[in-house]
Chains A and B, each alone.
Chain A
C-alpha cells in the first residue's frame, strides 16, 4: 500500500479508537443495532413497529419546520396557515407531509398493534413492551387530536366544542375539566395555546421518553419469535427456549434482519410523499369564527368512528358509553398480558383472537364510513336547493300540488329523501303512500313520534290536509295505496 495512504488510514483508525474508547461506540452498536434476533423475526409482519417510529420521526422534522412559520394565536393562526399553504415556498408540501405523516402514523400503529396481538407478542415476558405500546397508542391519538386543532378552522373550533361537551358529561368535576381543557371558560386564545403546548412539547416529549423504554424492552426481552402453532409459552421454560432459539438461529438485527424494515421504510416515505403530491395538505375550511354557523363540523379521518358512535348510540347510555367505555377498554388492554400471558401464541390456534380482530376492524371501517357520510345529519339546504322531480308533480291534483309545496317549504326534505334526493335521517318518502294510510300519516305529521318532531303547531289544518293528500298519492305505478283493514272490517 502507498505509505501516505497507510498513514491516513492509521490516523483514521486512531481517531476511531479514541472515540470508541471514550464513547464505547462498538459496545453500544453490538448491543443495539447488531443485537441478535431470531431469524424468523425478519418477516414482513414485523415491519410495522419500525414504520410507526419512522412516521414519528417524519412528524418531528416536518413539525419543527412548520413551527418556523406557524403562529399559535387565535387571532393569527389561520392567517399563518394560509400563508404557509399558498405563499411560503413549498409550505403546502410541508403541511401535506405533516398531515399525511399523521394519517400514516395512526394507521400503521394500529396495524402494528394488530400484528402484536395476533402473534401473541404481548405474552410473557413482554408485558411492559405491550404496556408502553398502549401508552404510545394514547399519546399518538392525543397528537392526532391536538394536531387538528392547530389548523384552527371551523372543524377545529367546533371539534373543541365536542370535546368540551364530552368532558361536561363527567360527573362532579365536569365543569372543572371543561375549563381545564379549554384553558378558560370558552374556546378562545388560551385554548389554542394550551393545545399547541400539548402538540409540540408535552406529547412529543412523552412519546420520545416512552418510545425509548419501548425499544429498551425490545432489547432487554428480545423481539418475539415468529410463533409456531403448538409451541406454548410457559413462564418456567420460555426464557430458556428463547435463548435456545437465539443460539440456534439468532442473527444480528443489522444487517441480517433489517432488510424488510428498510424496504418498508422506503414504501412508507414514498406513500407519504405520493399522497402529499396527489392530494395535498388538508385545507383549513374557513377560519374559526363562531359567528359562521353555516358549518358542518367533521373530525379528521381517524376520529370519524367516534363521531359515528356519538350519533348511533342510544341517548340514554351515551354518557356512560363515552366516559366509561374507554375505561373498560383500557382496563382490558392493560390486563391482557396478565390474564392471557401464557399459552398459544400463533393466531392459527387462537380463533377468538382472530374473530375479535376481524370484528374490530370491520366495526371501525363501517363506523368510519358512516362518520364520513353521516346519513343521520339533516341536509340543511335540501329544501332550498333540491328541485322537485317530475314524478312528484306530474298528474297531481291541485290539492296534492299544494301539499308538494308544503313538503318542500317546511323543510321535510332536509330529513326525508324523495326520488333519492334529500336527507336520510327519516324514512324515504318516494313510495310512502304504499306504507301508510291517511290517518297514520296525519297522526305522524301532527304529533311526530319515533325520531320526528311534531308539526301540529307549525302547520295550518289545511296545510296538513294538503300534505297528507299529497303523500298518500306517492305510490309506484300500478300499486294500490295502503289501506286500513280494520276500517274495512268495521264497514262490513
Chain B
C-alpha cells in the first residue's frame, strides 16, 4: 500500500557526479546569476511605479486655483468677517472637509486682507475678537493684531495671507493648500 521508494535518495554531495572545480563557474552558477539579474529587472519594473505611487507628493507640483468667497458686498468696510470657500482640489467623498474657512478683513473699498484660519504656530483655528481687535488661538494662546501681525504668544510670524483679486464684483483668493512654515503662501 505504502508507496515507499525502493531506492533511497542519493546523498546531496554526489549530485553532480564529479567534484565541481572551485574557481570555475558552472552552469548552475550562471543560472543563479541570471535569476538574480532577471529578478532585479522585474523588481524594478514593479517597484519603481510603486514608489512613484506612494511618493507622488514628492514629485507633484502644487496646484492652486482662484476660488470665490462671494460678492464683495458680503464684507462690510472696516470689519473682519469669516469667509468660506470650496477647496479647489477636492474629492467627491471629502464631506465637510472640502469647505475651508478664512478671515476676510475689508480695510476700505477694494483693499482687503484675507488671512488663513490656521495659526502660524501649530495650525489651530484662530478666532477673531471684534471688541479688542485681536485674533486669538485656543491651542497655545497665540494672538495677532487686526492686520495679521503677531501680537503675543508662541507664533513665529504673523497670520498667513492669501493673494486676492476682485472679478465681476466677487472676491477671489488663490487657495488650495494648507499653509505652514514651509509653504506660507496659502
Do A and B interact?
yes
B139 and chain A: residue at smallest CB distance: A297
Q: How far is the CB of A289 from chain B (nearest CB, A)?
A: 4
Contact A74 B94 (CB under 8 A): yes
- A89 proximal to B (CB < 8 A): no
In whole angstroms, how far apart are the Cα atoms of A415 and B132 in the complex? 12
Q: How far is the CB of B107 from chain A (nearest CB, A)?
A: 14
Q: List, in ascending order, chain A residues with CB within 8 A of B146's CB.
A: 457-458
- A204 proximal to B (CB < 8 A): no
In whole angstroms, how far apart are the Cα atoms of A109 and B146 in the complex? 47
Most chain B beta-carbon contacts within 10 A, residue among A188, A296, A415: A188
Contact pattern, B 94-123, Cβ under 8 Å of A = 1, otherwise 0: 111111110000000000000001100111
Interface 9-residue window, one of B23-31, B37-45, B69-77, B174-182: B174-182
Q: How far is the CB of A412 from chain B (nearest CB, A)?
A: 8
- A187 proximal to B (CB < 8 A): yes
Contact A457 B133 (CB under 8 A): yes
Contact A161 B178 (CB under 8 A): yes
Contact of A168 among B82, B84, B91, B180 (CB under 8 A): B180
Contact B123 A290 (CB under 8 A): no
Contact A186 B57 (CB under 8 A): no
Contact B156 A318 (CB under 8 A): yes
Contact of B63 among A76, A170, A185, A307 (CB under 8 A): A185
Which residues in chain A, 281-310, are within 8 Å of chain B measured between CB atoms?
A: 287-291, 293-297, 307, 310
- A380 proximal to B (CB < 8 A): yes
In whole angstroms, how far apart are the Cα atoms of A378 and B142 in the complex? 9
A165-B118, A290-B101 are contacts. A178–B94 as well, Cβ < 8 Å? no
Contact A376 B141 (CB under 8 A): yes
Contact B125 A293 (CB under 8 A): yes
Contact B180 A185 (CB under 8 A): no
Q: List, in ascending order, chain A residues with CB within 8 A of B58's CB.
A: 173, 176, 179-180
Contact of B121 among A76, A165, A455 (CB under 8 A): A165
In whole angstroms, how far apart are the Cα atoms of A242 and B11 in the complex? 40
Interface 9-residue window, one of B1-9, B12-20, B147-155: B147-155
- B171 proximal to A (CB < 8 A): no
Contact of A377 among B140, B155, B176 (CB under 8 A): B140
Q: List, in ascending order, chain A residues with CB within 8 A of B164's CB.
A: none
In whole angstroms, how far apart are the Cα atoms of A411 and B93 in the complex? 40
Contact B87 A168 (CB under 8 A): no
Most chain A beta-carbon contacts within 10 A, residue among B62, B152, B177: B152
- B168 proximal to A (CB < 8 A): no
Q: List, in ascending order, chain A residues with CB within 8 A of B154's CB.
A: 310-311, 315, 318
- B89 proximal to A (CB < 8 A): yes
- A182 proximal to B (CB < 8 A): yes
Q: List, in ascending order, chain A residues with CB within 8 A of B93's CB.
A: 73-76, 189
Q: List, in ascending order, chain B residues with CB within 8 A of A165's CB.
A: 118, 121-123, 180-181
What are 24 sample pairs from A and B whose C-beta atoms fall under 8 A apart?
Answer: A74-B94, A74-B97, A75-B96, A76-B95, A158-B123, A158-B139, A161-B118, A162-B123, A175-B183, A176-B58, A179-B58, A289-B96, A290-B117, A290-B125, A291-B96, A297-B138, A311-B141, A315-B154, A374-B139, A376-B141, A409-B131, A410-B131, A411-B129, A412-B132
